[in-house]
A and B are shown apart, each in its own frame.
Chain A
Amino acid sequence: MNAILTIENYAKTFCLHERNKLIPSASHVNLSVYPGKLTALIGPTGAGKSSVLKGVYRTYLPSAGRMLFRTAAGEVVDLAQADEHRMLELRKSEIGFVTQFLHCLPRKSALDVVAEPLFARGVPTEEARGRAADLLAQLAVPSHLWNVPPATFSGGEKQRVNLARGLIAQPRLLLLDEPTASLDPATTERVVAHLETLKGSGIAMLAIFHHPDLVRRLADSVIELSPPVAIVEPEKEIA
């Protein structure tokens, strides 16, 4: 089977001009992600797990390496080099990201927060809200909260809203950064069941899980990262 994403020698180093410092965040990352399979990233804090996900999504500009993504049309795009408009297009239609924290407008209802990716694709408002409601129900977010902005929600409720927003558009590649971090065991089980369904429908996933148990249950392959070696020599030139 063809990989949907192949990462070759990815590295990310931050250059902090003000402090005249280079901070390596990830290096020598090699992995592949396949349709219907989940690749888990493991390693201690600071090993660069989130850096890999953000590099794929281009929230971080990769410092080195290639990230070859096979599009629905069968084209291979290096996400590290792709044109910004291309990236926006892929984010809208093919690559989804569930981050650790929910970032949304404090004045938007949970339902609209979740439906947003569908609005962006031009799905009619009522249909999008309907699908958002179904998904929130599946993830056991109480219906009396749907029309309320998530700002006042508990950590677990926010996390589920966040997850629902990432899952609703069924991207071909899903990036998951600790999607169950603040969930109770019962809700975690619902999320696991949902992720298994998505895998079954052919969605490829690259994920970071807090619990080793989830890695064991969901991962088809595991990539262990170790923290990159600190760069001793400070940057010489000040920009």
Chain B
Amino acid sequence: MSNKILSVRGLSRIHGEQCPLCIASTGPEHDTNICPHCGSVVAAHDVNFDLYRGEILGIIGESGSGKSSTVKTLYFDEAPTAGSATFYDGGAQHDMFALNAAQQRSMRNKRFGMVYQNPHLGLNFQISAGGNIAERLLMSDLKHYGEIRTRAGDLLVRTEVARARMDQNPKTFSGGMQQRVQIAKALATQPPLLFLDEVTTGLDLSVQAAILDLILEIQHELGTAMIVVTHDLGVIRLLAGRTLVMKHGRVIESGLTDQILEDPQHAYTQRLVASAL
């Protein structure tokens, strides 16, 4: 179907030496992602999904389940051990892991956006908030100083950061505002695909709500496809149409989000849903 923007098949990420027993001795049924024979960590194994244009896919799981590893591989932060990912862009389709480093950098800068849980990963704290966004705009085709400045300011205003704070260092911002600057930076090139890794974790509830509302508004306005990684069922319920549940590096279940929440199939998901506050 032409609606597809991303297709992931057999994606795996293993840290360590790897032995022939790694896969068979890890996973939910072994209650670990560490291979007892060689000590390798099977962060993610055999992840498969399709993402459609404008769709929000949730990936839920506890720490070490492989949800962040999956997204980091797709954003080229880490190289996969196995598997493929195809990015459909306009009429073209790209075999993501077959691209060379320069091509990957270009795709990541122009066509993808990433918002990390830790703003230190997504922002440069040596330069101003506006400078952070300008950096990304420079990587696209905008070259004129005035234009870049106006566009950076517009993006900050759109994510509800006062234009007046544009020249300040994000170091001086609250956690919620740093996330807003990260979102503005991620959106600078109007990417069709956005990765959100635990973006509201650790923020005050009222700030979380405002950030989630902002994400929904953006999705509505721009039709950006998103992969939302979280351990928070509330975030999934609010944002994602479909959800993958991960545990010990494996996808143990996937489905429509309301089905995952009301009729979870796997024992772990049932426990997860039953633990919701």
**With an 8 A cutoff between CB atoms, is A211 at the interface?**
no
- Measured between beta carbons, the chain A residues less than 8 angstroms from B258 are 59
Q: Which of A17, A58, A105 contacts B256 (CB 8 A)?
A: A58
B64 on the A face (CB < 8 A) = no
Instruction: Report yes or no: B274 in contact with A18, Cβ–Cβ below 8 A.
Output: yes
A239 contacts chain B at the CB level, 8 A cutoff: yes
Contact of B262 among A16, A54, A88, A119 (CB under 8 A): A54
A196–B266 alpha-carbon span in the complex (Å): 42
For B224-238 the 0/1 string (1 means CB < 8 A from A) is 000000000000001
A58 to B265, CA, bound (A): 13
- Residues of A close to B50: CB separation below 8 A: 85
Main SS of chain B's interface residues? mixed
What is the distance, in angstroms, from B169's C-beta to the closest C-beta of chain A?
Answer: 31
Report chain B residues within 8 Å CB of A239. Answer: 266-267
Contacts A88-B241, A88-B242, A107-B213 known; A59 to B270 CB distance under 8 Å? no
CB neighbours (8 Å) of B267 from chain A are 17-18, 238-239
A142-177 vs B, CB cutoff 8 Å, 1 = contact: the mask equals: 000000000000000000000000000000000000
Residue-wise interface mask of A (15-54) relative to B, using a CB-CB cutoff of 8 A (1 in contact, 0 not):
1111000000000000000000000000000000000001
State in angstroms the CA–CA spacing of A233 and B220 once bound together.
Answer: 49
CA distance A60 to B256 in the complex (A): 10
For residues 234 through 250 of chain B, which have their beta carbon under 8 Å from a beta carbon of chain A? 238, 241-242
* CB-based contact A61/B209 at 8 Å: no
Indicate if the CB atoms of A84 and B263 lie closer than 8 Å. Answer: no
Is there an interface contact between B263 and A18, defined as CB atoms closer than 8 Å?
Answer: no
- Given A84-B242, A119-B220, are A58 and B259 neighbors across the interface (CB < 8 Å)? yes
Rounded to whole angstroms, the CA-CA distance of A36 and B262 in the bound complex is 30
Give residues 81-139 of B contacting A (CB, 8 Å).
none
Collect the chain B residues with CB atoms within 8 Å of residue A15's CB: 265
In this complex, how many residues of chain A approach chain B with their Cβ under 8 Å: the count is 19
Do A59 and B256 have beta carbons less than 8 Å apart? Answer: yes
Let me know if A60 and B263 touch, CB within 8 A. yes
Contact with B along A55-87 (1 / 0, CB 8 A): 000111100000000000000000000001101
Cβ–Cβ contact A14 & B274, under 8 A: no
* A18-B274, A239-B266 known; A84 vs B256 contact (CB < 8 Å): yes
- A87 to B266: give the CA distance in the assembly, Å: 21
C-alpha gap A239/B252 in the complex (Å): 12
Q: Give complex CA distance A238, B254 in Å.
A: 20
- Does A88 contact B256, Cβ atoms closer than 8 Å? yes
Taken together as a complex, chains A and B put the C-alpha atoms of A172 and B132 apart, in Å, by 49
Nearest B residue to A120 via CB reads B220
**Interface hub of B50, B254, B258, B265 (most chain A Cβ within 10 A):** B258
**Given the complex, which residues of B lie within 8 Å of A17, measured CB to CB?**
266-267, 270
Give the one of A18, A84, A88, A239 with max B CB within 10 A: A84
Tell me, yes or no, whether B271 is within 8 Å of chain A by CB.
yes
Q: What's the Cα separation between A52 and B245 when bound, in Å? A: 25
In the complex, B255 has a CB within 8 A of chain A: yes
Establish whether residues A61 and B255, one from each chain, have CB atoms under 8 Å apart when the complex forms. Answer: yes
A61 to B266, CA, bound (A): 13
A193 to chain B, nearest CB (A): 30
Give the one of A16, A59, A88 with max B CB within 10 A: A59
A85 lies within 8 A of B52 (CB): yes
Q: Could you tell me if B270 and A61 are in contact, using CB atoms closer than 8 angstroms?
A: no
Q: CA of A54 to CA of B262 in the docked complex: distance in angstroms? A: 10
B103 → chain A closest CB, angstroms: 29
CA A183 – CA B123 in complex, angstroms?
53
Residues of A within 8 Å of B220, CB to CB, are 119
Chain A residue at minimal CB-CB distance from B29: A239
Q: Is the CB of B263 within 8 A of A61?
A: yes
In the complex, the chain B residue whose C-beta lies closest to that of A86 is B1
What's the Cα separation between A88 and B265 when bound, in Å?
Answer: 20
Residue on B nearest A85 in the bound complex, by CB: B52
Distance of A54 Cα from B259 Cα, bound (Å): 9
Q: What residue in chain A is nearest B258 (Cβ atoms)? A: A59
Q: Which of A17, A54, A58, A238 has the most CB of B within 10 A?
A: A17
- For window 195-212 of B, CB contacts with A under 8 Å fall at 209
B266: chain A residues within 8 A (beta carbon): 17, 239
For this complex, 10 residue pairs linking A to B, each with C-beta atoms less than 8 Å apart, are A16-B270, A18-B271, A54-B263, A58-B259, A61-B265, A84-B242, A84-B255, A85-B3, A88-B241, A119-B220
Closest 7 CB pairs of A and B: A17-B267, A60-B263, A59-B258, A239-B267, A59-B262, A84-B242, A88-B241
